[in-house]
Chain A
Amino acid sequence: QKEVEQDPGPLSVPEGAIVSLNCTYSNSAFQYFMWYRQYSRKGPELLMYTYSSGNKEDGRFTAQVDKSSKYISLFIRDSQPSDSATYLCAMKYAGNMLTFGGGTRLMVKP
């Protein structure tokens, strides 16, 4: 079993929809949670960074962490075709390297 699980998709939604992307993990030591967006054949770029449980909002993006369920989510409101990309979750604990999920491919259709 992988430490971090992520549905590969693809997830196809119409423009304007609310998108929910999720990751589950098995290591309860993880404390820092990140979401990266990766366009095709490009390097990932950091979207959201959260520490411990709770919600964090940045524009149309909301990151949610539920440590009790070992579950994190990224919500995208009013999705746009430019949001079409692969979204990678990543997490770590102090003194360790990042562990990445496999990524979910999102397609937002006009």
Chain B
Amino acid sequence: DGGITQSPKYLFRKEGQNVTLSCEQNLNHDAMYWYRQDPGQGLRLIYYSQIVNDFQKGDIAEGYSVSREKKESFPLTVTSAQKNPTAFYLCASSMKASTNEKLFFGSGTQLSVL
């Protein structure tokens, strides 16, 4: 089945620790995205990538880093510089970051601070 796989489903971070969230897609989509969702708030864009080996900052990139070494994979690292990391993280992909894009989402990772 084609889709987007996020892992793990739940993740706990200790003070000062970096953690990495995995996102893999087999839809052959060019563009991939990371969003953060807080209760009662809309999805906020962290980073996006339109092509392998290239990515751009979204609205709330501070304290996060990404890489796009393969078309299928777009991991997100939450660094110790992110002081309020507790949130639900969603990875998405689309055919391309064009006008008519439709986003397909993974099932999300809930990150909590210990």
Contact = CB atoms under 8 A, between A and B. Distances in A.
Partners in one complex: yes
Interface of A: 2, 4, 6, 8, 32, 34, 41-46, 49, 88, 90, 94-95, 97-103
Chain B at the A interface: mostly helix, strand, loop or mixed? Answer: loop
Interface of B: 4, 6, 40-45, 48, 58, 88, 90, 92, 97, 99-100, 102-108, 110
B45 A42 contact: no
Contacts of A4: 42
Chain A at the B interface: mostly helix, strand, loop or mixed? Answer: loop
B90 A43 contact: yes
Contacts of B104: 46
Contacts of B102: 34, 46, 49
Nearest to B6: A43
A45 B104 CA distance: 7
Given A8-B40, A44-B90, A103-B42, A95 B108 contact: no
Contacts of A99: 42
Nearest to A42: B107
A98 B42 CA distance: 11
B105 A102 contact: no
Nearest to B45: A97
A101 B40 contact: no
A64 to B, nearest CB: 19
A95 B97 CA distance: 8
A94 B99 contact: yes
Contact of B43 (A32, A41, A88): A88
A88 B99 CA distance: 20
A41 B88 contact: yes
A48 to B, nearest CB: 11
A102 B42 contact: yes
